[in-house]
Amino acid sequence: MLYLVGLGLRGIRSLTLEGESIIRRCQIVYLEHYTSIPPKSTLEALESYFGRSIKPLGRSEIESGIEFLESAREIDVCIIVTGDPLSATTHNQIRYDLLKAGIPVESIENASILTEAPSRSGLFHYRFGPPVSLPFCTDKFLPSSVLTKIKRNADSSLHTLLLLDLNGQVPMKPSEAAKFLLKMEDRYKTGVIGQDSEVVLLSSLHMPEEIIVRCKVGDLLEVNNEMGPSVIIIPSSLNDQERVFLNAFSREFKDIFSEGRSQLPPSHMKG
């Protein structure tokens, strides 16, 4: 049997009691780091807490599936997934493939960035359209579909949650995201994004280094420091209560970043 266990967003601190019980009884345990980046030292913390070896599971192992599929035919196998295990298409594909092979699969839910980012910003869940993924771009690869999807949400007065891509274990920087968006706008002329467009940057949610900041796209161009996994909310028009909540639950760009904007001051911690 295969278990997909959600780790949530706080690392080992947000592991559920049921998830812990499953990890303890499985003969083989993996920590997946392809679809998302676990908080720092998560693998070491898990191995120390459970007193056992836990194997990292990357892209090649996930896409082949051979190792854990064959093992799950005979014994209980667990894959620990940052966030919620069924939020990524990858894990539903694993679930589907194993069920087709006659291998039972069970998932243990947990918090996902798809729900936590809107919640933490104070914006209303029902006012969000479909999330949009922003890949790493080049001059030759600059997909118009990103802006098309953002515009579709905006035309329906819906906010957009922009999910920033990973390059292996390296998350996209906010400055890279802003550069890609502005390059797309310059090429496709959709009118949906500009340097003065208001956005919300959320980084390392529920971790000590958490950042929730209101800013403009142009501000993000100057944020070159290393940060944890981040997402960007592109708001549509805000209603009065959303504006009150957003102002209360986030900070202004100038209050978070130092004058040079290349480093974060110690006061960027949440609180």
- Find the range with the poorest average confidence among 35-49, 82-96, 255-269: 255-269
Angstrom CA distances, 133 to 48, 136, 186, 225, stand at: 34, 10, 19, 22
pLDDT of amino acid 258: 63
> Is pLDDT at 149 greater than 80 in this prediction?
yes
Confidence (pLDDT) at 55: 94
Q: What pLDDT score was predicted for residue 257?
A: 80
Residues 23-35 have a mean pLDDT of: 94
Q: Phi/psi class of residue 204: alpha, beta or left (left: φ > 0; alpha: ψ in -120 to 50)?
A: left
Question: What is the pLDDT, as a whole number, of residue 40?
Answer: 79
Q: pLDDT digit string (tens) for 206-255?
A: 888 899 999 999 999 988 767 888 999 999 999 999 999 999 999 999 88
All structural domains of the chain, each given as residue ranges with its CATH number in brackets, are: 2-111 (3.40.1010.10), 114-268 (3.30.950.10)
Tens of pLDDT, residues 77-107: 999 999 999 988 889 999 999 999 999 999 9
Q: What is the mean pLDDT of residues 38-44?
A: 88
Average of per-residue pLDDT across 174-201: 96
Predicted pLDDT of residue 271:
40
**Considering the chain, what percentage of its residues have pLDDT values greater than 70?**
94
Please say if the pLDDT value at position 270 is more than 80. no
